[in-house]
Amino acid sequence: MKLGLAVVYLVHEDSEPLLRLHLERIRRHTTVPYLIHGTPLRLPPSFHRHLQADDVRLHSLTPPADALPHVEHSALLTGLLRRAVADGCTHVGTLHVDSFPVTDGWAENIAGGLNARQPVAAIREEMEGDTPARPNLAGMIALADYWREARPFLVPLPELEQTAGWSAFLRRHQQHVTHSGVGLGYCLEQSGRSWIPLRRTSSRRRHPVLAGIYDNLIFHLGAATRPRSFFTDSAGVSDTWAMRQRRRSASLARRVLPKAVRRILRPLRPAGRLYDARPTQQNEAVFAKMRDELFADADRFLAATMSDR
């Protein structure tokens, strides 16, 4: 097995320990030959030294102009995955900067379940809107042969988003979040394939989404580079009226508004939110506390998270 990992290195200035931890845990727990295919994205200059290593190959990639964040991230991951395939890998995968393995042999454990009908395994976080339509790219491994032959995309092209087939795919799975990975789910389904979900095995006691461990193999802090706004909040996992309205409104906007118009209107969304801002504020506080605990003593935090079921 030869693994090629694609990672976009987008890290906030206050999260340098997260970058170090991400790299250290990959090195500690990956027991097969591997290479990280990475590209920096608005990475602080002083952080680049962490990526100067034999197990990291940096690629100079340019993201699409004026793209939404998830489209920008997906475009870069697509380029990195293609380079990993061209490098002769038997398996390719993706991680985020805030996700990393927590168990020795994680890669071969996941790869052992892959086959021609299910060539992809990935995190599935139901509490953040993931369905069978969306392999979550915070933790994904796939057969390189599938990637080489099918050349799947991670997010849909604008012209596909306007088709009845794409809309039917989203409705069929009740997939309201069209972030990175939904395009891959579509490609798999269109070819008669499916993917293996890596489900959360740690407790949701402290938060329904943040700081999860999946299949006892991969940790994902979550929302390290974006606002801490989720479909579920830190008070519980109930599906509130406001959450349902938010999803319905987002789904309707995607169906009736061209992508260029949605991009123009996007900055105006906070002024017209249909939901209470307090859950986001609670999420920010919970995230800050969890991140501080992780940075202070990663071994202790991860061990406690794994044992808390």
Task: Summarize pLDDT for 197-222 with one digit per residue, the tens.
Answer: 999 999 988 888 888 999 999 999 98
Decide which of 300 and 156 is more confident: 300
Q: Are strands 195-199 and 212-214 parallel, antiparallel or unpaired?
A: unpaired
Rounded to the nearest 5°, which phi and psi values hold at 73?
-65, -45
DSSP conformation class of 252: H
pTM recorded for the entire structure = 0.83
Domains of the chain: 3-307 (3.90.550)
The helix, strand and coil proportions of the chain, stated in percent and rounded to the nearest 5, come to: 45, 15, 40
- Average pLDDT for residues 230-259, to the nearest whole number? 54
Nearest to 156 by CA among 86, 247, 81, 254: 254
Could you read off the pLDDT of 153-164 as tens digits, one per residue?
998 888 898 899
Q: Are strands 3-9 and 136-143 parallel, antiparallel or unpaired?
A: unpaired
| pLDDT higher than threshold 60 for residue 176 | yes
- Cα angle: 173, vertex 67, 94; to 5 degrees: 60
